[in-house]
A and B are shown apart, each in its own frame.
Chain A
């Protein structure tokens, strides 16, 4: 029954088809309308899925009566569930219409009964022969012959032919093309997320050549703004964020992945490669740095480090998110439904879910994120500046070390006859903390020294103080000359408890890499460490108050063994006020002194077992009996001369200092090097198991990696790992990948996908508005080498896309949602585009591409209101300077538990989970934001400055403003309204100059004007505020 056959009887067909389609749609009210032609995939499967599959579908565990209605064999078996052409013999139908409450389906407590029209559709289907087909999207797409159309001159390309054919059948006419100014505005917003400049509009409207539009398309596709705009859609799908997303929601560094996405779109990386690199870039042979960065896709999910979490549970959630996201983004399948039971609607068994799980469970890194910005595995990528700096530092280090070698070679060491160090034979008190912190120590922010006069001081000129209602501590870490612990050492410090404000508990803690060395006096409130162990040891009651008391702690008691290096010390308390002073160690070996004798030094090193010396010396110094061979002795002597020997300190100290400086600089640069989370596979895959009801602690039988049976097998010759899985996805025979992606592209341009449920192409998804077009595009996509720009160009070059968006009376009635594309797409711009447009029109937009996220201003307190007190994103601090606050919105810092309001108010998702479709709402909160948000007001003021800079009278300026904001001239009426508005604003500000001054002071760089200049600028600011709130301004035209 080809279209061609009907061609000669065209009019008849139009009438018949239009009637049929309409009948089908009004069947609700008129079930008795004659002969609707049933299409199983479109009309029947959705009914079965929605009303029957729950108990008679793919899920074996809940299947009733061993009957499945998603399976042809079962439906047409000899028991007569469905007998084609015979409704009386078809049990399925009889069970629907019976009055017998015991056999009627569905049982009353199992769901709503079928509607009259659903039953009618099933009747017609059986009567018409009960044609059956597999679910449409599970069969590979093929290009069907192009339909014939009547209005043959209209189509610009194949897209139009499909659209037109359908609409001709429906009796829907197409809109005329949009005018050029509208067209270039629509196109530029769609391809770059920014408005065209007036010059670009002018050039296009003035261009008489036939390919004028195509040249604009090509220009925009090659603009770097294109990649940025495309990327931000992808970032929703990839659930990209700048924080972990759960619990503490700390900073997590991943923007290199965002840069990769932008770049991938800009260089038009073929989609198959785009998929492979993100899913399995690490498994490619000799992957490039960029390919490894791409694997961040599967690391972008939310993670946690919540105290008390059970690691295995977190692990399962992480892996499940990767599987679910892969299913949604690449296949439009809701695979995660099968995590707890077989899928209710699509043929994905629970086993198959865990077989997919097995591809994603072998990440070589911990499930908990450590609340750190780097959650291994990761990749560090120095910027060019950093690379140069590191190289320079390395060179300088090498030169300095050479100098040391030269100096060493000059020394002829002679052991002195009499050792000077003998005086250290007995225990000596070494004060480590007095009026200053030890060298290199990094103090905690609450460290507070107090001088004589402000509080009691025991030694020197200062003590340090802690005071609080509850828990308080101050500490330092990273002292460069640590305390070296030897046998029998005694740690000490002095404390003065304020008798007016007694603490309940005081505690000392030492850090040798871990803080698990603690003693306390008084109550047991501070809960660090295991009670009763060396990590929390009670030494007695609180010391006497109102006087300095010396506290002494044998190092061994807190498990600081000989050889330990203490480089941090914490002074903690629960409540009260405590002063501390003079802390250090009593030891019979000296700390940090210079030696005259190598032999004495060696003896001392044995006492501390070589603590603080390079690892290679430790064995030889581990006890008094350990032997040092010639080689070791020689090296030790070099070390001694260079670092400890009194007579050569003058020579080496500056060189050593230089090395320390350089190394410090190096580590500072190193700490700034951008990092990003990547995927890396464990050397051996982790075994995978079925998890009973999805419970992490209920593993069942082991499962092997495999793809679901209803989809093609893995291609021959690929490895059975993520790389194989990725290659399977982009195999031309895969029925879903190309369809899902072209549908998503379509959605970007028309607001709605051909399949409206972009995230679900399964049985519960919506039926495509234009199935043949979708398939044609999918095949075209694959045939073109997965060329995204090619598909986009096809779309924007189509007559369908270029139609005017005006809604005619006919369109309103017959195509209210524009699902049939009888007009051009028109809807409110997305969050990012709205803000970027405001910045662009006002001339504020900074066009730098890529880099770390930035924090433009947002209302105070949004983070603090929800943030965990200890989170490093608990307080929002806006960035300073136009370079940061006026970047495109895709660079805005995204805290996932409190996303930027400028984005979420405009319907952006939270990025806590994958999202492939945004809602589009229209609310008063949006109106308030567009009118009042300081960033939008600032944009209006800068726009006003530009307007004022334009020569001419008010009329001329209004015209210029229109061209810049909307790409067109105003009508007379519009000019009059604007002029009146400007004049009224001017008059109002004239009598309120202070108000004018305040208005133009809003923003990153206040205008600093007053008097008439401020009044004029303020009036234009309000005029710009008006145009920037027009429906036309906030909508794609």
Chain B
């Protein structure tokens, strides 16, 4: 009796530990020995993946998207110069924003001292583009995006509480304005795991930009693991010789020598395992082998020689320059093809307090063609249906001018009350325009969408109920969407 019970307890404990600690625990080592050495990116073997199997309880329901690409416009794009068309403002040039519209809303201290808030209509020409539905007005700054509005779901009524960059971008990327929480990608890596044994589940690219040089900072926390295990933090994919940190063998050491070293290392570690019995040792052997595989899978990933000229050119001229947004978009597609769960590209320079006419067109040129090409490239390969693409920044900009106003030059301050994002692909209704702002583009008047709802939508498309996706930390069930109510945006999902 005693023996039986203990035996059963032990089994239970072993199972429990496996599921709670995932690959790093006991179960992994056992599994590692059972697995073939090469694993394909098939969903059904994902659970057995050595390094990152995800949670057994996920997905909560059949996912519409298997993976996601997030095009993050850091600094806050000026929505009324790009997507939120406000024709009535033409008559309001240099007139004061009515107090009834501002309604006591707090302002940043960069403009709260301004004696007046003169309205500045966009100087850019908007055209209505057919999206298969009611159409979408897009400014001349985004000609390529305009051509594919039929693929996109725009949300013009996103809002947030944060009013400065650091808290706002931290809020959108981690669900909280203060440092310390897990980022969206880390959540996805933790929950859904990796689809590819040889590449990380969450990859981050920091693109170059050509607009305002004094760009807002980024922070490692935006792709950090927060309270989740550190293996879920985003891996930076860089330009240059070492796309992943320390990927290359030391100068003078070739792959054959590294292989010999790993063979010896494996034998010696196995011996230690035999003597000590710590399953962690076998996990380490597996990690060194994966490191070795990454030494070929990553260079293969960034080697564009197999891409057709037609595809490469579709991303625009910048694609030839490593590190640009266009180049990053092409890599994002290649990663999605290879099953990388989440790719996030950060494009900086969108903080147009001044000089919109000189800086904003450059910013738009950086991203417009490449983002559109990414969508069409994914579509052409049949990947768009299962790949969610998200575009947007951390807040919007004001309809009133910051600094000196002229017909040809103006700037806009931070505006958290409404801004525009778009989504496309995996489970998103194409050709939708959701939400509406008032004629000043100042307040949401229809279908407000909080940034929590955006995150809930992303999780939802990936088969996750945001409410049930929690991690116990500091006594609380932490969620990406926080403690306040959040809901997926039904109107834009299939």
CA–CA, A328 to B227, complex, Å?
15
Q: A948 near B: Cβ within 8 Å?
A: no
Asked whether any CB of chain A lies closer than 8 Å to the CB of B215, the reply is: yes
Give A912 to B177 CA distance when docked, in angstroms: 13
A924 to B197, CA, bound (A): 10
Cβ of B12 to closest chain A Cβ, rounded Å = 6
Beta-carbon contacts under 8 Å, B253-283 to A: 253-254, 256-258, 260-261, 264-265, 267-269, 271-273, 275-281, 283
B214 touches A869 (CB 8 A): yes
Among B140-148, B352-360, B417-425, the one that faces the other chain is: B352-360
Per-residue contact bits, chain A 982-993, to B (CB 8 Å; 1 contact, 0 not): 001100110010
Residue B409 at the chain A interface, CB threshold 8 Å? yes
**Distance from B341 Cβ to chain A, minimum over Cβ atoms (Å):** 15
| Min C-beta distance of A302 to chain B, whole Å | 6
Residues of A within 8 A of B402 (CB): 527
A910:B220 contact, CB within 8 angstroms: yes
Q: Nearest Cβ distance between residue B205 and chain A, in whole angstroms?
A: 10
Measured CB to CB, the closest approach of chain B to A326, in angstroms, equals 14
Residues in B whose Cβ lies below 8 Å from that of A481: none
Query: Is A262 engaged at the interface, CB distance under 8 Å to the other chain?
Result: no
**A922 sits at the interface (CB 8 A):** yes
Q: Verify if A885 is at the interface (C-beta below 8 Å from B).
A: no
Q: Min CB distance, A988 to chain B, in Å?
A: 6
| Alpha-carbon gap, A827 to B178, bound state (A) | 32
**Of B35-43, B160-168, B380-388, B441-449, the one touching chain A:** B160-168
Flag the segment in B121-129, B312-320, B472-480 that touches A: B472-480
Q: Could you tell me the distance between the alpha carbons of A328 and B214 in the complex, rounded to whole angstroms?
A: 38
CA distance A521 to B317 in the complex (A): 38
Q: Is the CB of A859 within 8 A of B9?
A: no
B14 at the interface (CB under 8 A from A): yes
* Neighbouring B residues of A334 by C-beta, 8 Å: 474-476
Given A898-B220, A932-B249, the answer on whether A302 and B179 have CB atoms closer than 8 Å is yes
B133 at the interface (CB under 8 A from A): no
Q: B222 CB to closest chain A CB, in angstroms?
A: 8
Q: Does A307 contact B (CB under 8 A)?
A: yes
CA distance A865 to B74 in the complex (A): 13
CA distance in complex: A807, B284 (Å):
16
B217-273: which have CB < 8 Å to A?
217-221, 224, 229-231, 233, 235-236, 238, 240, 242, 244-254, 256-258, 260-261, 264-265, 267-269, 271-273
Interface contact A871-B245, CB-CB below 8 Å? no
Of all chain B residues, the one with the shortest Cβ separation from A929 is B246
**Contact, CB under 8 Å: B1 / A19:** yes
Query: From A865, which residue of chain B is reached at the shortest CB distance?
Result: B206
**Does A1002 make an interface contact (CB < 8 A)?**
yes
Chain A residues, CB < 8 A from B404:
524-525, 527, 531
B406 at the A/B interface (Cβ < 8 Å)? yes
Inter-subunit contact A527/B354 (CB<8 Å): yes
Which residue of B8, B287, B475 contacts A762 across the interface (Cβ within 8 Å)?
B475
| B side interface size, CB within 8 A | 107
A582 to B244 CA separation, bound complex (whole angstroms) = 53
Task: Give the one of B17, B214, B230 with max A CB within 10 A.
Answer: B230
- Of listed B13, B108, B235, B273, residue having the most chain A CB within 10 A: B13
Query: Among the listed A760, A974, A1035, which residue makes an inter-chain contact with B474, where contact means beta carbons less than 8 Å apart?
Result: A760
Contact between B264 and A868 (Cβ–Cβ < 8 Å)? no
Tell whether B51 is near chain A: CB-to-CB under 8 Å.
Answer: yes
- Looking at B61-69, B94-102, B288-296, B326-334, the stretch in contact with chain A turns out to be B288-296
The stretch of A241-249, A283-291, A584-592, A779-787 that contacts the partner chain = A241-249
Interface positions of B from 77 to 93, Cβ below 8 Å from A: none
Assess whether A103 is interfacial by the CB under 8 Å rule. no
**B5 at the binding interface (Cβ < 8 Å):** yes
Contact for B358 among A470, A978, A981, A996, CB less than 8 A: A470
CA distance A306 to B229 in the complex (A): 30
**How many angstroms between the C-alpha atoms of A666 and B421 in the bound complex?**
56
A43 at the interface (CB under 8 A from B): no
B180 contacts A913, C-beta separation under 8 Å: yes
Interface assignment of B494: CB less than 8 Å from any CB of chain A:
no
Question: Do residues B355 and A525 form an inter-chain contact, with CB atoms below 8 A?
Answer: yes
Q: Say yes or no: is B466 at the interface (Cβ < 8 Å to chain A).
A: no
Q: For the complex, what is the distance from the CA of A527 to the CA of B401, rounded to whole Å?
A: 12
Complex CA–CA separation, A679 to B160 (angstroms): 34
User: Is there contact, CB below 8 Å, between A861 and B238?
Assistant: yes
Q: Per-residue 0/1 for A291-314: is the Cβ within 8 Å of any B Cβ (1 yes, 0 no)?
A: 000000000001010111111000
CB-defined contacts of B268 to chain A, threshold 8 Å: 974, 977, 1026, 1030
Which A868-911 residues have a C-beta within 8 angstroms of B? 868-871, 897-899, 901, 904-905, 907, 910
Are A1001 and B249 interface neighbours, CB within 8 A? no
Interface residue from B7, B272, B295, B403 paired with A1032 (Cβ < 8 Å): B272
| B414 interface residue (CB < 8 Å to A) | yes
Q: For residues 126 through 170 of chain A, which have their beta carbon under 8 Å from a beta carbon of chain B?
A: none
Contacts A309-B109, A1026-B265 given: A525-B409 contact, CB under 8 Å? yes
A814-B6, A925-B235 known; A901-B214 Cβ under 8 A: no
Q: A337-B476, A910-B224, A927-B288 are in contact. Are A865 and B166 (CB under 8 A)?
A: no
Say whether B250 contacts A18, CB under 8 Å. no
A980 interfacial by beta-carbon distance below 8 Å: yes
Q: Given A247-B217, A859-B242, A922-B283, A759–B474 Cβ distance below 8 Å?
A: yes
B475 pairs with A764, CB closer than 8 A:
yes
Asked if A1029 is at the interface (CB within 8 A of a chain B CB), the reply is: yes
Most buried by B among A337, A760, A904, A910: A910
Give CA–CA (A754, B229) in the complex, Å.
Answer: 20
- A25 adjacent to B475 (CB under 8 Å): no
Tell me the minimal C-beta distance from A934 to chain B in angstroms: 7
Q: Which has the most chain B C-beta neighbours within 10 Å: A19, A816, A974, A977?
A: A816
Distance, CA A926 to CA B26, complexed state (A):
19
Inter-chain contacts of B179 with A (CB < 8 A): 245-246, 302, 910, 912-913
Residue A866 lies at the interface, judged by CB distance under 8 Å to chain B: yes
Hey, which chain A residues are within 8 Å of B166, CB to CB?
246-247, 304, 306
Q: Verify if B10 is at the interface (C-beta below 8 Å from A).
A: yes
A183 to B216, CA, bound (A): 51
Instruction: Select A921's contact among B24, B214, B219, beta carbons within 8 Å.
Output: B24
* Bound CA span A826–B230, Å: 20
Q: Is B392 an interface position by the 8 A CB rule?
A: no
Contact A922 B217 (CB under 8 A): no
**What 1/0 mask marks residues of chain A from 210 to 236 whose CB sits below 8 Å from any chain B CB?**
000000000000000000000000000
For residue A655, CB closer than 8 A to chain B, the reply is no
B311 at the interface (CB under 8 A from A): no
| B residues less than 8 Å from A807 (CB atoms) | 276-279
Known contacts A759-B474, A922-B24, A22 near B9 by CB under 8 Å: yes
The docked-state distance in angstroms from the alpha carbon of A665 to that of B6 is 77
Q: Are A760 and B475 in contact (CB under 8 A)?
A: yes
Residues of A within 8 A of B31 (CB): none
Residues of B near A635 (CB, < 8 A) are none
The distance from the CB of B295 to the nearest CB of chain A, in whole angstroms, is: 8
Bound-state Cα–Cα, A870 to B213, Å: 10
Q: Can you list 9 A-B contacts with CB-CB less than 8 angstroms, sorted by A residue number?
A: A346-B475, A759-B474, A805-B276, A813-B13, A868-B215, A931-B288, A989-B252, A998-B252, A1032-B272
> Shortest 6 CB-CB distances between A and B: which pairs?
A764-B475, A308-B108, A999-B252, A912-B179, A998-B252, A807-B277
Given contacts A306-B165, A922-B231, 14 further A-B contacts (CB under 8 A): A19-B2, A28-B12, A470-B213, A806-B275, A809-B277, A901-B245, A922-B283, A927-B287, A973-B271, A988-B257, A992-B254, A999-B251, A1000-B252, A1022-B253
Chain A residues within 8 Å of B, Cβ to Cβ = 15, 18-19, 22-23, 25-26, 28-29, 112, 171, 245-249, 302, 304, 306-311, 317, 328, 334, 337, 344-346, 470, 523-525, 527, 530-531, 697, 757, 759-760, 762-765, 805-809, 811-814, 816-817, 826-828, 859-862, 865-871, 897-899, 901, 904-905, 907, 910, 912-913, 919, 921-929, 931-934, 937, 973-974, 977-978, 980-981, 984-985, 988-989, 992, 994-1002, 1018, 1022, 1025-1026, 1029-1032, 1034-1035
